[in-house]
Structure 1
């Protein structure tokens, strides 16, 4: 998916989080958004995903005419899950909107969530919840992956699994990762430092 950022900016009250951001993302690119904690990485990711409206400029997604968010997968530690569902129910519900790339059994085996199928999501540990968010991002069809601090709450095994999944993502899939940890965006071919786009504050 080709994505074009034209004079993009976002401010809260009178303070610019970022401003005058011009960038073109080509299909298959892996983009890292970097910066210190609180610098605006998550805000930029939400604008790119259409979850926040920019204060200036625009984001263009190729020539797509359909509802663009149906083509996205978004994983972040602050995103809510369906806590009253069991894991099995959550996957089945997600399947109504996006095509699974493998069986649910394979997803759970690969993510080390096998055996938790009938457990309520609200009873998951924070690490299990983050694994589930990543399962929903990696194992369902989408042309754009948006990942915000993807290894948050993961132990070393979970981090290793995440890094292995980065290597398996299709070359045709565009990925944007907001992080200040280099290992989380290993292999990125472009880096956007949010610190470079704070003019006009």
Structure 2
């Protein structure tokens, strides 16, 4: 499993500090929620943890079985679902899943058809992603991230664009595929998003005074 150590992290855009001197330990197998309202910096922190953007100060240290993982390799260990990650809209659902398999394996060697069934999108298997509703796109992002065989799962506001039935689908899927994984969820304090988490990090506590 994978652990994440945040050491004196600071991030700013232009001249505004988003968070300052943030230190936090996420042990292997922890389920952590990053809490904060809109514009609080929780999504920015999640992106720094993912390696998508870099911190201005401090460092993020990743370890698998107590061995340090270089930052430029961490993408191989992470699955990430968020509203700002774009799908390849010219792909069909089947093509999207097959394309993902090239870069990351799925858990239990799931077949493309099994994944489509787990996404509950069997009727859309040959539909172009650009024809999907926002809820279907969110279901696809979440399903692919959760079902990829990675030790670190990052979820940014996972129930965005999901109706009540889809929220229950999300909760069941993440519960069934969370074993032996470190999970970090960014949330506006919506309980359904982070029901699985047992630790909290409030980004508002790390604003520059």
- Confirm whether residue 72 of structure 1 aligns to residue 73 of structure 2: no
Q: 1:93-133, CA deviations, whole angstroms, 9 ceiling, x for partnerless residues? A: 10001112222222222221112111100010000100110
| TM-fit CA distance, 1:187 | 2.6
TM (norm. structure 2) is: 0.92
Aligned to 1:82: 88
Contact 2:80–2:155 (CA<8 Å) still a contact in 1?
yes
Q: Aligned match of 1:188 in 177, 180, 197? A: 197
Cα distance in 1 for residues equivalent to 2:148 and 2:162 = 21
Aligned to 2:51: 50
Cα distance in 2 for residues equivalent to 1:3 and 1:89 = 33
| TM-fit CA distance, 1:199 | 2.1
Aligned to 2:10: 9
Contact 2:167–2:192 (CA<8 Å) still a contact in 1?
no
What 5-or-longer segments of structure 2 have no aligned partner?
A: none
Cα distance in 2 for residues equivalent to 1:138 and 1:187 = 13
- Confirm whether residue 137 of structure 1 aligns to residue 149 of structure 2: no
Cα distance in 2 for residues equivalent to 1:52 and 1:195 = 20
Q: Which deviates more, 76-85 or 57-66?
A: 57-66
Cα distance in 2 for residues equivalent to 1:111 and 1:85 = 16
Aligned to 1:37: 38
SS of the counterpart of 1:178?
A: strand
SS of the counterpart of 1:108?
A: helix
Q: 1:115-161, CA deviations, whole angstroms, 9 ceiling, x for partnerless residues? A: 21111000100001001101210111111101001011111111001
SS of the counterpart of 1:95?
A: helix
- Confirm whether residue 198 of structure 1 aligns to residue 199 of structure 2: no
| TM-fit CA distance, 1:166 | 2.4
What 5-or-longer segments of structure 1 have no aligned partner?
A: none
